[in-house]
């Protein structure tokens, strides 16, 4: 069974540009989460989808971040315009409907804003 995949693995952009990160969860996992780890800090929750609906987006830093999950399959996280403090590793995770606590993480996308 394929795990959670994320694309790209690395992205280097300039301040003010736009970047879109993609996450493909494990098939059949209704729950999809985005997390972020900035340098030297712990992994922090951004938001949670149940199928295509946003269940909890309390961790989104500001309105420059937009997450979508059309059709309840893959998800995208867009940062527009990117700022220096957005640099970090963005993780996606998914979990089964009945075992939401057991989250499977992707390898992450390392975003560097220069």
Query: What does the binding site for other proteins look like in residue numbers (CB under 8 A)?
Result: 4, 31, 33, 41-45, 48, 55-56, 58-59, 91, 93, 95, 100-108
In the complex, the smallest distance separating the C-beta of residue 106 from other proteins, rounded to whole angstroms, is 5
Contact between 89 and 23 (Cβ < 8 Å)? no
Q: Which is nearer to other proteins, 72 or 81 (CB)?
A: 72
Contact 4, 103 (CB under 8 A): no
CB of 66 to other proteins, least distance (A): 19
Smallest gap from residue 6 Cβ to other proteins (A):
8
Q: What are 18's two structure tokens?
A: 């736009």
Q: Considering beta carbons, is residue 22 or 44 the nearer one to other proteins?
A: 44
Cα–Cα distances in Å, from 6 out to 15, 47, 60, 62, 63? 22, 16, 19, 22, 22
Q: How far is the CB of 100 from other proteins (least distance, A)?
A: 4
Structure tokens at 53: 């609906």
Which CB sits closer to other proteins, 10 or 15? 10
- In eight-state DSSP terms, residue 39 is T
């Amino acid at each position: 069974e394929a795990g959670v995949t994320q694309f790209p693995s690395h992205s280097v952009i300039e301040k003010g540009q736009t970047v879109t990160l993609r996450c493909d969860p494990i098939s059949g996992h209704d729950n999809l989460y985005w997390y972020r780890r900035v340098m030297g800090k712990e992994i922090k929750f951004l938001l949670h989808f149940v199928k295509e609906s946003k269940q909890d987006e309390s961790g989104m830093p500001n309105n420059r971040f937009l997450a979508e999950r059309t059709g309840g399959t893959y998800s995208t996280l867009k940062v527009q315009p990117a700022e220096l403090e957005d640099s970090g590793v963005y993780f996606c995770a998914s979990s089964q409907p009945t075992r939401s606590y057991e989250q499977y993480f992707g390898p992450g996308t390392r975003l560097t804003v220069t």
